Amino acid sequence: MSSRALVLISGGGTNLQSFIDAIAAGRLDAELVGVLSDQPRAFGLQRAERADIPTTVLGAGGYDSRESYDRALQEAMLQFEPELVLLAGFMRILGAGLVRQFEGRMLNVHPSLLPAYRGLHTHRRVLEAGDRRHGCSIHFVTEELDGGPVVAQAEVAVADDDTEQTLSARVQAREHMLFPAVAQWFVSGRLNCVGDKVSLDGRILSEPVVFPKEEEIV
């Protein structure tokens, strides 16, 4: 039986599309039971509707505190009864209670090789620093922003003529391969997280699985 996966988005939903495509191709054994957005105009909602995936919009307006919004968000998420939560460009910081509710079964994609460049504007910061190596990371979500155990990373080379836009496009292409692959590790029982310990195929990961530049992701 396919695992029940809930996807949270805020924007275009390109990683959501990568899940939809991976399921159609037989590379991801999951059922996308819902897509939840904090932005009513997020294009990813249209992607979900085209794929007949139920959607929910929960904007932050009308809530008197972050805590009250988090409680509403948690209740909305629980209605989907997810076994796995995939944060695919969801641009809100989640509260501690919500994170604990889904501990060990919530994955996030981040556009840098963590622990480098947590937070926003990663491509700009990489270019400003003159780095020659960049990429993306998939990690389990904890209360620490972009600080949960990192499962896997995919690298790209930084070219001399790169801009934020060209670098972002290449990193996104790697995200679209890496995130469904890691999700499949989870739903197939290969990947587990207890506390800050991540295991893959029964072995504790002392460091992330790294896919070097141009290497195929499986």
Q: Which residues are catalytic?
A: 110
Determine the Cα–Cα distance for residues 33 and 16; give it in Å rounded to an integer. Answer: 12
87: which DSSP letter? E
**69: number of Cβ within 10 Å:** 20
Q: What is the DSSP string of 139-197?
A: EE--SSTT-SPEEEEEEEEPPTT--HHHHHHHHHHHHHHHHHHHHHHHHTTSEEEETTE
Determine the Cα–Cα distance for residues 189 and 206; give it in Å rounded to an integer. Answer: 19
Q: For residue 141, which phi and psi values (nearest 5 degrees)?
A: -85, 130
Which strands, in side-by-side order, build the sheet including 191-194? 191-194, 197-200, 203-204
